[in-house]
Structure 1
Amino acid sequence: RINVPSTFTIGVSTEPSIMANAAERLLGFKVEDIEEMAKEIIFGQLRLTVATLTIEQINQDRDSFLELIQKNVGQEMRKVGLYLINVNIADITDNADYIESIGKKAASTAVEQARVDVANAERDGAIGKAEADRTKDIQVAKNTAEAEKGRKEAEADQRVYVEQQEALAVGGENAAQAEIARANADLAEAEASAKQRADVATAQSEAAIAMATYDEEEQKLRASEIARETVAKQQVEIAAEAEAERQRRIARGEADAILAKYNAEAEGIQNVLESKAKGYSSLVTSASGDPKAAATLLMVEKIEAMVNAQTEAIRNLKIDKITVWDSGNNADGNSATSNFVSSLVQSLPPIHDVAKMSGVELPDYLGSMTDETNES
């Protein structure tokens, strides 16, 4: 049997579904009753958790033991609407002091292991020191031999190097003499070549000066000719623009004159029409507001002109000769000659018919037309 002194902190859950469990299962309970219910759940789940583990498992892995308690107790608490906030386990003991013995054994084992580790470390240190000393002596001897060997090789290399340098010095002196001779020859050749290039350059320079002088004179002549042509071209352009402007102004003047003429004619026609309108309005007013009577008066004024037009229609007829065979009186008592003249006059439209064509009815004092019916 083991003792697990612990402290559990619980409260009502804030999750909606678990709060519903609390409202359903804890409503109406007193605080003491709720605490008692929580204790029973905790003790039951704690016994169940301890029963599933060995003492060694509980003692060696306290964190896993604590997580398992939180898991089992928390699940049961949620069923009644409670939430496990915290679990604190102070210590775990048993009546037979088995857990304490396990701890002491582990401590003793750890101490012995530490002593063994110290001894092993001291042994390894001594062995390492001896090996280091041996390696040091061997390395010192090797370094001494290598140093002597290096010194001898250096002396040999020094003698060889000195001889080589002397040979190189002699060869260098000979090469220097040859180089001096070549340099003198190159100098003479360079001087001759330089003189030749100088002469050629002088000739080319003189030719270039002459060519430049010729080009300059040619450019001056060309510039003078271009200037004259440009001035002539500008004069032609100015004259053309002036003529074009004159033609445009003449055209604008003629257009303005035509427009003024048409405007004047339009104003004259408008004035005539306005005057006629005023006259017709006065005529209608004088005819007591009767437009038909006013039109009749206007028609009466034109009768003379209409009669003249009718007579003018036959006056210009050219009849060279008229031959009439008249055998006597006709059945109506008229002669053929009189009937011919009457028919000729009747061929003209009567004045009343002309007036009717204009929509005007002439007054009776100007005569009237009657329909003649021939009875057979």
Structure 2
Amino acid sequence: MDFGTGTVIFIILAVLAAVAVLFGIVAFIYVRRRYKTARSNEALIITGPNLGDPEKDNRIFQDENGRSMKIIRGGGQRLKFFQTSTPVDLNSFQIKLTTPKVYTSQGVPVVADAIASVKIADSLDGIANYAEQFLGKKDTEIEEEVSKVLGTNLRAILSKLSVEMINNDRESFSHQVQDIAQVELDNMGFTITSFGLDDLRDADEENGYLENLGRPRIAEIRKKADMAESDAEKETRMYKAKNDQEAQQEENTRSTTVSQSQKERDIKEAEFKRETERARAQSEQAYQLEQARLNQEVTEEEMQVQFIERQRQVTLEQEEQKRRKAQADADAYDIKAKAEAEAEKARIDGEAEASIQRAEGLAQAEVIREKGRAEQRRKSSWPKRWRNTAKQQSWK
């Protein structure tokens, strides 16, 4: 094989490869564009030929005219030739309703405002009903038709009830409207997720039925509020008075306790002072007694010394007289001398005797006098009350 033939073959293979790649890309794009998925808040409505057997696939719905559709929820589907898919939004939408003048069962003209949240039904049957009736319509057209159904049922329930029943139990009223309207909306493929009566008012302002309807209740509530307020004020005053009384009692108790404590302290101080004074008096009295005893002992010792001195003087005088007598006896050898000596001796003896007696009398008088002085000094040192007691005893 020459070089030219190899080149031709290489070029042919390259072209075939490029064609194959291009075909693959085209096929991928085609399959990618034909494969449809349904998001969590969506449903796919597939129409066209070759949808499948309705008896084997419950996602396929067919009407009496032979028209069929396939509904996909939460998955994907590859579309075949001549098949189309339409996404359906399953999110809820809100509808505000305002009724014209409606007469209640009592003949009272009222106007009601309500708010409803509506969405396409989650069931395949509901989605199929929606697709048959509303697929391809604008959202405003769909909301208008749903509003008519809700408004009609709202007015129907209003006309069957009294104003008091509607106003006093709005929850029950809302449930009645929702239950009746849901029957019709099921056939349309919708579900009411919530319904509430927003406002109920008089159709004629001069009528004032609803306003007057609340006056007795308002008056009763005001009365109860005033009574409750009065009771609360009464309880507050009673509670405050009770607290004041308890506080006063506690204050009195505290004052009594303080007074009692002060009294006990004063008594203890008085007792301590009395004991102190008594102890001090006893101490002073003991001191004075001891001092008087010591003074008396000193006086007695001094008197004893004086008495001994007197006795010594008397003894010395006696010795002197004895010496004189002995001398006189020695010198008188003769009668005259002896007589004279005897006379002298008699005289000396008489003088000595007299002197001795006089000395003894003076000593005894001195001792008695000194004892009297000591006794007088001892009594003068006694406390006054003792001296009085001593005088009384001396008088006795």
**TM-score above 0.5, yes or no:** no
TM-score normalised per structure 2:
0.32
Higher strand share: 2
Q: Report which of the two has the higher share of helix.
A: 1
Give TM-score, length-normalised by structure 1.
0.33
Q: Which has the higher contact order (CA 8 A, sep 6+)?
A: 1
